[in-house]
Chain A
Amino acid sequence: MKDVKCECGHVNPHGTILCEACGRILEEHEREKQLVDMRYEGSARRSQTYNKTIVDKIWNFFSSVKVGVWLIVITLIASALGTIFPQEMYIPPVMPAEVYYEDQYGWLGKLYYELGFHNLYSSWWYLLLVASIGISLVICSLDRVIPLYRALKAQRVTRHEGFLKRQRLFGISAAENLEESYEKVKEKLREKRYHIREEDGNILAEKGRFSRWGPYVNHIGLIIFLIGGMLRFVPGMYVDEVMWIREGETKVIPETDGEYYLKNDQFILEVYDKNKDKEVFSEAIENSGMVAKNFQSDVTLYKKKGDSIAGEKPELEKVKDDEIRVNEPLRFENFALYQSTYKLNELNKMTFALTNKQTNEEFGMLTVDLNDPKEKYDLGNGYSVEVVSYFPDFEFDESGEPVTKSRIPNNPAFVFKMLTPDKPEGEVSFVAIRQTIEPFGDNTYKMAFKGIDTKNVSGLTVRKDLTLWIISLGGLIFMIGVAQGSYWNHRRIWIRKVNDEVWVAGHTNKNWHGLKREISIILENTGINEPEDQVQNENKESGGS
């Protein structure tokens, strides 16, 4: 576990491949290669030898790029699987999830549910995958950026011959008029905005080193992004709820601690009209029949005045009237209410007439408020109707009994008792939509259906997101990192006198063609030969033979 001292005197950490200062090859097996691996400057980035303790083992696991890539691939596959069937939060609340998936998608759906894919994005293993990517990002970056920084900081102007020789761009020229050539070269390097360092007549020209930090800046952005995502789980930071509100109804807005109330004055659904709207729309209207133009809820926002406890009629103060349209939410404090869904024509009232079945004579009408029916409706002249039972969302259960599926009047049914002067004990009739049952034999009277009154219901999304700025900041830093790493290149040119020769080597982290062109311009008319591309030459040779 000792540090490695190079011939040049520089002390390198254990595991270093190329001396940080002079570039001499420290690892025996690297010597056999024609070119050195310049990734991370040959620094000691992953010391497999530090593999003694559990901490090192965990560290080395996450430090592997291979592991990181696999984590990303697995997460991608899992995320894709989650989109095959709708997630639990998006399935209609008609039946429990365990029934719904099998009912809709058969055995595949059942499997989907049992494997927990119905709630994939908040399952522990999915979160663990994302978290592992985060950990991998942090550790991979730390394990590479610190040695890289050290190596780039420690690099000397004079590089070891074995290092120069094994650079991709390398060439040897005879040294004539060296003084003059050097001046020309330096001038041109300066023109190209190279940073020049000199030592014993050797030159290191470097530019764009900061582009090497691009990937790490990018990772910092990603980590901030992930932290933003994590903060969504912190209470009070993020709210995303659906609120159903009928026309005319006033309701407390969830997650506002009972502070704010909303009244739905009206829900509007507008469609394009062939005759009224511009002609350009007419074809689309013809093709698809009905095209929605606007979904809108006219609402009034109230704030509770003073203290009241839940259930007490609160004293409300009007804040404002607003029209909520798609993408035009109602905003207050940190909340936004979005128009997200609707239900047209929910049954609200039903009107019946007490009628003699034979003569069709009517003895008065009654209107039942389906959200608050009365027990008894007096029609005068000794005629009255009692509601014996009411099923707002009626169906027959397994034993054939009428039951209600919910409290929403989707399919109302009644058991009426009709009291008339000639039938003082009353006649019982079961009345549902398009269905009448007379359980105790043939009745003289019936409840004739006269009409309905409906209301629209708005579905609003209540949203609050205090993490958005963190997520945006992460995204911005991410993009800065991307730009930094892709629009700039880290280029280095070494010029070294070796006996009577001039050795030139070049390295860039990307865009070799650009570096070659730049070197060719710099060395033009200086008497120093352009270095050759050893990778290209090798390819040519092997291609030719």
Chain B
Amino acid sequence: MKKKRLMIRAVILLLLGAAVAYTLYANFTKDDVQKAVVGEKAPDFVLEDMNGKKHRLSDYEGQGVLLNFWGTWCKPCEKEMPYLNNQYKQFKDKGVTILAVNVAESELAIQKFADRHNLEFPILKDTDSQVMTAYKIGPLPATYMIDKEGKIVKYHTGQLTEDMIKDLMEQVKP
């Protein structure tokens, strides 16, 4: 009798505890829901760069990709741009590239910014925010590391240092 009571109570408490734990977990991960998920394939997209050349993410399979979302008004984005540029030059022949997606700004604003910082990597124009919506981008800058199989291996939001960028790019080197 006593054993049975203990069992029933334990089972009920476990069930309730599991429901609470799930709710808390779901609540804290709800902002990541449907966002491109680490460990899964990066949502494919195709965007034009400043020269009108089309870049399709799946065409980059076989090499590592640093996918960076940025805006010209965003200070931390601006700060990490020179680092990205340096590392782009270092890694471009080692099979890791950088794709920098600008979020729906005017061509002029992007061009002036790119000229000012002598950016060499392709800057993609997400004119109607489609890719931004697909990746559910919140605060900028947001950086995804995609490996040679097209899988997301890392996500970072906030400014990156040059060392961090180097480290990230090493990780996806084919």
Minimal beta-carbon separation of A237 from chain B (angstroms)? 10
CA of A58 to CA of B30, assembled, Å: 30
Identify which of B13, B43, B105, B124 contacts A407 (C-beta below 8 A). Answer: B105
A368 to chain B, nearest CB (A): 9
Query: In chain A, residues 367-421, which have Cβ atoms closer than 8 Å to a Cβ of chain B?
Result: 371-375, 387-390, 392-393, 403-407
Asked whether, in the complex, the Cβ of A311 is within 8 Å of the Cβ of B27, the reply is no
A227 vs B19: C-alpha distance when bound (angstroms):
9
The docked-state distance in angstroms from the alpha carbon of A388 to that of B105 is: 16
Give the contacts of A126-164 with B (CB-CB under 8 A).
127-128, 131, 134-135, 138-139, 142
**In the complex, which of the residues A50, A127, A393 contacts B23, with contact meaning CB atoms closer than 8 Å?**
A127
What's the Cα separation between A404 and B128 when bound, in Å? 20
Taken residue by residue from 110 to 153, chain B's Cβ proximity to chain A (1 for < 8 Å, 0 otherwise) reads as 01100000000000101011110110000000000000000000
Q: Are B71 and A50 in contact (CB under 8 A)?
A: no
* A124-B24, A235-B33, A390-B108 known; A311-B126 Cβ under 8 A: yes
Binds B, one of A30-38, A203-211, A247-255, A466-474: A247-255
> Quick check: A250 and B73 within 8 Å, CB to CB?
no
Taking A309-B44, A372-B106 as contacts, is the C-beta distance between A233 and B72 under 8 angstroms?
no
Task: Check A124 against B28 for contact (C-beta < 8 Å).
Answer: yes
| Contact of B73 (CB < 8 Å), options: A142, A234, A312, A393 | A393
A311 & B28 in contact (Cβ 8 Å cutoff) = no
Q: Let me know if B6 and A56 touch, CB within 8 A.
A: yes
Establish whether residues B104 and A407, one from each chain, have CB atoms under 8 Å apart when the complex forms: yes
Residues of A within 8 A of B72 (CB): 404, 407
Q: From residue A460, how far is it (CB to closest CB) to chain B in Å?
A: 14
| Chain A contacts for B133, CB-based, 8 A | 252, 254, 258, 310
Complex CA gap A406/B44 in Å reads 27
Check B53 for interface membership: any CB of A closer than 8 A: no
Contacting pair B108 A374 (CB below 8 A): yes
Band of interface residues on B: 35 or more
Q: A100 near B: Cβ within 8 Å?
A: no
Q: Is the CB of A55 within 8 A of B108?
A: no
Q: Is the CB of A310 within 8 A of B130?
A: yes
* B103 / chain A contacts, CB cutoff of 8 Å: 407
Interface string of B70-84 (1 = CB under 8 A from A): 011100000000000
In the assembled complex, B164 has its CB within 8 A of some CB on chain A: no
Contact count band on A: 35 or more
> Which residues does chain B contribute within 8 Å of A55, judged by CB atoms?
6, 9-10, 13
Which of A233, A250, A252: most chain B Cβ within 10 A? Answer: A233
Chain A 335-376, CB-CB to B under 8 Å as 1, else 0, gives 000000000000000000000000000000000000111110
Residues of B contacting A122 in the complex (Cβ-Cβ under 8 angstroms): 27
Interfacial chain B residues near A142, Cβ < 8 Å: 12
Residues of chain B whose beta carbon lies under 8 Å from any beta carbon of chain A: 1-2, 5-6, 9-10, 12-13, 16, 19-20, 22-24, 26-28, 30, 33-34, 43-47, 56, 71-73, 103-109, 111-112, 124, 126, 128-131, 133-134
Interface residues of A (CB under 8 A from B): 1, 3, 50, 53, 55-56, 58-59, 122, 124, 127-128, 131, 134-135, 138-139, 142, 227, 230, 233-235, 250-252, 254-255, 258, 309-312, 371-375, 387-390, 392-393, 403-407
Known A-B contacts: A310-B46, A390-B112, A404-B109. Give 11 more (CB < 8 A): A1-B2, A55-B6, A131-B20, A138-B16, A233-B23, A250-B128, A311-B45, A311-B46, A311-B131, A390-B108, A405-B73
26 A-B pairs whose Cβ atoms sit less than 8 Å apart in the complex: A3-B1, A55-B6, A55-B9, A56-B9, A124-B28, A131-B23, A135-B16, A138-B12, A227-B19, A233-B23, A235-B33, A251-B129, A252-B133, A310-B44, A310-B131, A310-B133, A311-B126, A311-B130, A388-B112, A389-B112, A390-B106, A390-B109, A392-B73, A392-B106, A407-B103, A407-B109
